[in-house]
Amino acid sequence: MKNRIYLNNEWYFSETFEPEMIRAQYDRSGMKEVRIPHTCKETPFHYFDEHVYQMVSGYCRLIHAPKEWDGKCVLLTMDGVAHDCEVYLNEQKIGEHHCGYTAFTMDISRVLCYGQDNILTVKVDSRESLNIPPFGHVIDYMTYGGIYRDVYLDIKEPVYLEDVFLHSEIQIGADPEKDMPVRLLSDICLHGNTHGIYLQQLIREKGTENERILVEKWDVNGNSEITMDTAVAHAKLWEIDHPTLYEIKTRIIKGEEILDEKVISFGFRKAEFRKDGFYLNDKKIKIRGLNRHQSYPYVGYAMPASMQRRDADILKQELGVNAVRTSHYPQSHYFLERCDEIGLMVFTEMPGWQHIGDEKWKEQAIENVREMVIQYRNHPSIILWGVRINESRDDDAFYKKTNEVAHKLDPYRQTGGVRAGKKSSLLEDVYTYNDFSHDGSTPGCEPKKRVTSDMEKPYLVSEYNGHMYPTKAFDWEEHRVEHAIRHANVLDAIAGEEEITGSFGWCMTDYNTHKDFGSGDRICYHGVMDMFRNPKLAADIYAMQQDEQVVLSLSSTMDIGEHPACNRGKTWIFSNADSIRMYKNDRFIKEYVPQDSPYKNLLHGPIEIDDYIGTAIADEENFSKKQAAEIKEALNHVARFGFSNLPKKVIWIALKMMLIHGMKPQQAVELYNRYIGDWGEKATVYRFEAIKDGNVAKEVIKEPMTGMHLWAEADHIELKEDHTYDVAAVRIRMLDENNNQLYFYNEPVLLETEGPVELIGESTISFHGGMCGAYIKTTGREGKAALLIRNAQSQEVRIEFSVTV
Ligand code: GAL
């Protein structure tokens, strides 16, 4: 018998709840058939408000309980119901739950009727007037509603493993032959009559066949709470570059029979915030992370496993960060599991945003901490618990309790609590603070001593940038460049502060929000990516901090007309290459090396282009070497900053050329036009080569666009229904003939599907800054499918998919 049964299909949904819905005879023909994850209301891309998803809705489903289940424990788990719910089975209320971001489990054995269908009904309240976190005041994100994470049944024997909490103790540097440096501690909680049973534990490295016994036979002696302590020979550690995972299987055995077993993906690691930095397995690592909201266009929170996992991959592989903060609530286990697998560290926090409510509200908040810690504590990727409501005021009595709960349930992990104030009351282990002090001209961050009340405790920057400089993909170039540069400024400053353990930038993607925030269209354009997970320029600042893939991009399209007075201003190279060669109309201009970057703390900092001439004047004109160098310097200055406010040095060069060398103004103009001025007969072609290990690893060409084409790519094309429908994300961009994004292309796109898939959201959308996206979902049927993407100015693109069920 399969002992976990997913209940994600065949639900009936209504936007209004009626008490009669709990009855078997209720006429469900007026309800809509839906699948989980489900959002109670699909939304437009922007320009809507929270009223659309605020409702008390009803979900119903039949559960067939075969006769064999009689006498077993049948547990119903709902992983995420936003935000408050009452659960009914066969007309009886079996429980309620008051948090939209944690799971709950109910034993339904006694209410089930065996050998027949049972009617399960869930009344879901997604109104923001609820007296539970995060509600009570304003919130800078939409909170959506619905049953948006998995629902399943576990069929257990009367004695079963209620909880297994794993933790490891590691002695770094010990001799593995002699000392057995890794110990596994398992806190096990058993349900039912535990007489005559024993526990067994097995281990195997994930992805390998070799399972070995860790604990042969552990007599529980009738106890229901047991701690097993075992040495683990030859354990590999969970490191961010080699996140070795083990599957640890804990079993309950009676006689010869296995009554229950739980397999936990676990990593052996020691994570520690110390006063001088963060240490993973005793190695100091600067945390470089981003904040992530779990929302998506159209469907809010309701996305299945593949999309959750993809966000972790984007963070680690595309944005090159080593950590993520799940702002401002616990997120999908699928996301966390992927973080475990790829070595992405996580700071996860209790739900809430600035507001602290009354005593009842606080009780619920404490319960949320309890649920968060119990449900997430086996993830090796989680390195810190956030036990303060994000950016709330001090409340020592309240936060003493949240800290106590977290420490009691997980004595091995430290706590933090995100605040907006300096030197506030510190009950946590780590001072976590949103440092929004950088405004483009001020230093990238504040030093630790100006922020924390306790220099002996570690310090972490939990947010920066965000609202300080909202940036749209279709903003003008200098705005987008400033956005990118501010991220570089903060990262560089934090990299230079030895005592700051690291930082999380605000934020990974744009997100829908309430009227009090955002740009008026109910979007906070704070992401380094847009809502479809398309990168903005600032994404390159993160991407270039890793060395897995060569990054090369230019901060400019090189169109001078985009700049005030046609002065280029500062143009930056974003790259992690060994060097970057620049060519203008195939003439070599300059080779830039990482040391040219003014960012001295970053592994790879942006490099400013300061030469558009190279040796051209020296080679082609009749000047002495010194004169050619001076003219080049003056022209390069003018190219970037124009003729007004010339620095003294440039004025002096000009005077010298005219008074001493007799250069006529007309001659100067000709030189300008020949070497700098970008208009005239011949189009200028700029080419950049990223050199890695002596080879050209990447090339970027910038020239006036003459042709464009639509580019689209799906994150995966083999769709598979597992516990529910699958979704593929498609990124769509308009590119020029050199594959450069066309930033001001905002025209419509038509989307159409073929075969057993459906489009999520609208079928007519438009580009935003040369990019947009689509999501398609499976429908429970197998076969070949396709997405067709059409646009008036380009060839149709067709992406083919296969769907297996
Ligand atoms: C912070 C807050 C975030 C987000 C951010 C925007 O104050 O914690 O949720 O609103 O500002 O910059």
The reply to whether 15 belongs to the active site is no
pLDDT reported for residue 527: 98
pLDDT reported for residue 683: 82
The string of pLDDT tens digits covering residues 532-569 is 999 999 999 999 999 999 999 999 999 999 999 889 99
Query: What is the Å distance from ligand 1's center to 141 Cα?
Result: 9
Closest to 384 measured CA to CA, from 492, 280, 282 = 280
Set 157, 162, 341, 463: catalytic member? 463
Please work out whether the CB of residue 466 comes within 6 Å of at least one atom of ligand 1: yes
The string of pLDDT tens digits covering residues 411-446 is 999 999 999 999 999 999 999 999 999 999 999 999
pLDDT reported for residue 562: 95
Average pLDDT, the chain: 95
Closest to 391 measured CA to CA, from 291, 308, 502, 279 = 291
Please work out whether the CB of residue 434 comes within 6 Å of at least one atom of ligand 1: yes
pLDDT of 737 higher than 80: yes
Please work out whether the CB of residue 325 comes within 6 Å of at least one atom of ligand 1: no
Set 50, 128, 371, 391: catalytic member? 391
pLDDT of 1 higher than 60: no
Ligand 1 atom with the shortest distance to the CA of 328 = 9
Q: 83 preceded by cis ω (within 30°)?
A: yes
In angstroms, what CA-CA distances link 663 with 261, 666, 667, 673? Answer: 89, 8, 6, 15
Closest to 205 measured CA to CA, from 227, 234, 168, 231 = 234
CA–CA gap between residue 532 and residue 447 (Å, rounded): 35
pLDDT reported for residue 319: 98
- Across the range 573-579, mean pLDDT stands at 98
pLDDT reported for residue 711: 98
How far is C-alpha 204 from the chain's CA centre? 29
pLDDT of 367 higher than 90: yes
DSSP 406-424: HHHH-TTSEEE-EESSTT-
pLDDT reported for residue 570: 95
Query: What is the Å distance from ligand 1's center to 467 Cα?
Result: 7
pLDDT reported for residue 682: 75
The 3-class SS string of 208-231 reads CCCCEEEEEEEECCCCCEEEEEEE
The string of pLDDT tens digits covering residues 329-345 is 999 999 999 999 999 99
pLDDT reported for residue 775: 98
Any idea which residue has 């049953």 for tokens? 147
Query: What is the Å distance from ligand 1's center to 259 Cα?
Result: 48
- Residue 127: Cβ-neighbour burial (10 angstroms; 0-12, 13-18, 19+): middle
β pairing state of 418-419 and 431-434: parallel
Please work out whether the CB of residue 463 comes within 6 Å of at least one atom of ligand 1: yes
Pocket test for ligand 1, best of 294, 467, 513 (most atoms within 8 A of CB): 467
CA–CA gap between residue 156 and residue 190 (Å, rounded): 12
- Across the range 771-776, mean pLDDT stands at 98
pLDDT reported for residue 179: 62
Query: What is the Å distance from ligand 1's center to 466 Cα?
Result: 7
Q: In this structure, which residue's CA is closest to atom 3 in ligand 1?
A: 140
Closest to 791 measured CA to CA, from 731, 729, 709, 713 = 709
Residue type, 190: L
Residue type, 143: T
Please work out whether the CB of residue 391 comes within 6 Å of at least one atom of ligand 1: yes
Ligand 1 atom with the shortest distance to the CA of 524 = 6
Quick one: what percent of the chain has pLDDT higher than 70? 98
Quick one: what percent of the chain has pLDDT higher than 90? 91
pLDDT reported for residue 679: 63
pLDDT reported for residue 186: 97
Report yes or no: 748 and 551 within 8 Å, Cβ to Cβ. no
β pairing state of 182-191 and 160-170: antiparallel
The reply to whether 463 belongs to the active site is yes
Please work out whether the CB of residue 390 comes within 6 Å of at least one atom of ligand 1: yes
- Across the range 31-60, mean pLDDT stands at 97
Any idea which residue has 């091995």 for tokens? 412
Residue type, 779: T
Any idea which residue has 């903003």 for tokens? 475
pLDDT reported for residue 669: 84
Ligand 1 atom with the shortest distance to the CA of 468 = 12
pLDDT reported for residue 681: 62
Query: What is the Å distance from ligand 1's center to 314 Cα?
Result: 22
pLDDT reported for residue 172: 78
pLDDT reported for residue 667: 85
What is the pLDDT confidence band of residue 678, given thresholds at 50, 70 and 90? low
Ligand 1 atom with the shortest distance to the CA of 354 = 8
Ligand 1 atom with the shortest distance to the CA of 390 = 8
Could you tell me the two tokens for 2?
Answer: 């399969």
Any idea which residue has 């990124």 for tokens? 731
What is the pLDDT confidence band of residue 177, given thresholds at 50, 70 and 90? low
Query: What is the Å distance from ligand 1's center to 555 Cα?
Result: 26
pLDDT of 352 higher than 90: yes
Please work out whether the CB of residue 467 comes within 6 Å of at least one atom of ligand 1: yes
Residue type, 63: I
pLDDT reported for residue 14: 98
pLDDT reported for residue 2: 62
What is the pLDDT confidence band of residue 670, given thresholds at 50, 70 and 90? confident
Report yes or no: 66 and 18 within 8 Å, Cβ to Cβ. no
Report yes or no: 80 and 148 within 8 Å, Cβ to Cβ. yes
Query: What is the Å distance from ligand 1's center to 403 Cα?
Result: 23
CA–CA gap between residue 394 and residue 412 (Å, rounded): 25
Query: What is the Å distance from ligand 1's center to 434 Cα?
Result: 8
The string of pLDDT tens digits covering residues 611-660 is 999 999 999 998 899 999 999 999 999 889 888 888 899 888 888 888 88
What is the pLDDT confidence band of residue 517, given thresholds at 50, 70 and 90? very high
- Residue 15: Cβ-neighbour burial (10 angstroms; 0-12, 13-18, 19+): middle
Any idea which residue has 């891309």 for tokens? 45
pLDDT reported for residue 180: 63
Residue with more model confidence, 449 or 171: 449
CA–CA gap between residue 693 and residue 788 (Å, rounded): 41
pLDDT of 65 higher than 90: yes
CA–CA gap between residue 768 and residue 742 (Å, rounded): 10
Across 239-329, the runs of DSSP E, i.e. the strands, are 246-254, 257-266, 271-274, 277-280, 283-284, 287-291, 323-326
Ligand 1 atom with the shortest distance to the CA of 465 = 12
Pocket test for ligand 1, best of 506, 512, 516, 523 (most atoms within 8 A of CB): 506
The string of pLDDT tens digits covering residues 269-298 is 999 999 999 999 999 999 999 999 999 999
Partners of 754 in beta bridges: 786
The string of pLDDT tens digits covering residues 682-713 is 789 999 999 999 999 999 999 999 999 999 99
